[in-house]
């Protein structure tokens, strides 16, 4: 694992709706060099306002469901204490996501309401991610927390922000005796391996009749990280009651 020196300019905290615009900037600037983003949103440069509009909608949905998602950010004092990195953790797998279709109806006969997207790729990505989450991690149910999204603004990389956000989840999982899971892109895979995640399998996202495809990895850090924690077991029992 790459060990970054402690950067006192950085601070990790829970995000609020007041951070939404800054979070959208991190997402819009931090994800485009990830193959997942290029696969789904190849027209974002032609329609940047459309791209931002739907990013804002997506992260608003996460922020408005605090019982399901932990939305964390790292801020930097040399960025006016604004967000420079983000993570979205699903801390209650059994709770259904409450939100819209983000401008791409599941029915392929319906036209998308956004212009930055390849609708076929978007639907295939959504379907395959759900399928392989269930295949690899469905058996763990609420005995896991799952990292759905992690991004750092390119101007602030290699300062340890992504590692801090990952360690937040690993420490929570350790306290509560949970598994920590992620479906990793090529960009994230190296970071997660450095944090002792192990590969459970890999899978391909590819629409019928196309050559273009994505390869992702199912990875997890198994519980218990620091030994059995009876208080974590009690907490999960109470949460389900």
Contact 129, 203 (CB under 8 A): no
CA atoms within 13 A on the CB side of 209: 1
Please choose, from the candidates 185, 174, 183, the residue with its C-alpha nearest in 3D space to the C-alpha of residue 219.
183
The length of the chain is 241
Which residues have C-beta within 8 Å of that of residue 97, sequence separation ≥ 6? 61, 65, 68
- Give me the pLDDT at residue 228, please: 42
Look-up of token digits 């629409």: 207
pLDDT per residue of the chain (241 residues) written in tens, 0 to 9: 455 567 899 999 999 999 999 999 999 999 988 899 999 999 999 999 999 999 999 999 999 999 999 999 999 999 999 999 999 999 999 999 999 999 999 999 999 999 999 999 999 999 999 999 999 999 999 999 999 999 999 999 999 999 999 999 999 999 999 999 999 998 899 999 999 999 999 999 999 999 999 999 999 997 654 444 444 444 444 444 4
Contact 122, 107 (CB under 8 A): no
Token digits of residue 29 = 């600037």
- Report the C-alpha gap between 63 and 192 in whole angstroms: 24
The answer for 184, left when phi > 0, alpha when psi is -120 to 50, beta otherwise, is beta
Contact 135, 154 (CB under 8 A): no
Which residues have C-beta within 8 Å of that of residue 137, sequence separation ≥ 6? 144, 146, 179, 181, 218, 220
Contact 188, 197 (CB under 8 A): no
- Give me the pLDDT at residue 200, please: 96
pTM: 0.90
Q: Which residues pair with 75 in a beta bridge?
A: 11, 83
- Report the C-alpha gap between 35 and 187 in whole angstroms: 8
- Give me the pLDDT at residue 5, please: 62
């Amino acid at each position: 694992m790459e060990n970054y020196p402690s950067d006192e300019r950085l601070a990790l905290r829970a995000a609020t709706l007041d951070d939404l615009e800054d979070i959208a900037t991190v997402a819009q600037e931090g994800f485009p060099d990830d193959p997942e983003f290029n696969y789904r949103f190849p027209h974002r440069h032609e329609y940047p306002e459309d791209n931002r509009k739907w990013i804002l909608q997506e992260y608003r949905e996460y922020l408005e469901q605090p019982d399901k998602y932990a939305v964390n950010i790292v801020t930097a004092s040399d960025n006016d204490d604004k967000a420079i990195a983000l993570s979205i953790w699903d801390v209650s797998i059994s709770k259904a996501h409450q939100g819209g279709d983000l401008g791409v109806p599941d029915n392929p006969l319906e036209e998308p309401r956004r212009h930055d997207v390849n609708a076929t790729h978007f639907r295939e990505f959504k379907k395959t991610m759900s399928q392989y989450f269930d295949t690899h991690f469905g058996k763990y149910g609420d005995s896991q927390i799952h990292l759905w999204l992690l991004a750092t603004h390119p101007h602030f990389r290699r300062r340890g922000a992504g590692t801090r956000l990952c360690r937040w989840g690993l420490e929570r999982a350790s306290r509560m005796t949970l598994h920590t899971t992620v479906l990793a892109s090529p960009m994230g895979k190296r970071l997660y391996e450095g944090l002792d995640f192990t590969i459970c399998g890999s899978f391909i996202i590819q629409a019928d009749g196309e050559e273009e495809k994505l390869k992702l990895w199912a990875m997890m850090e198994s519980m218990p990280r620091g030994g059995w924690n009876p208080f974590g077991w009690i907490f999960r029992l109470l949460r389900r009651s």
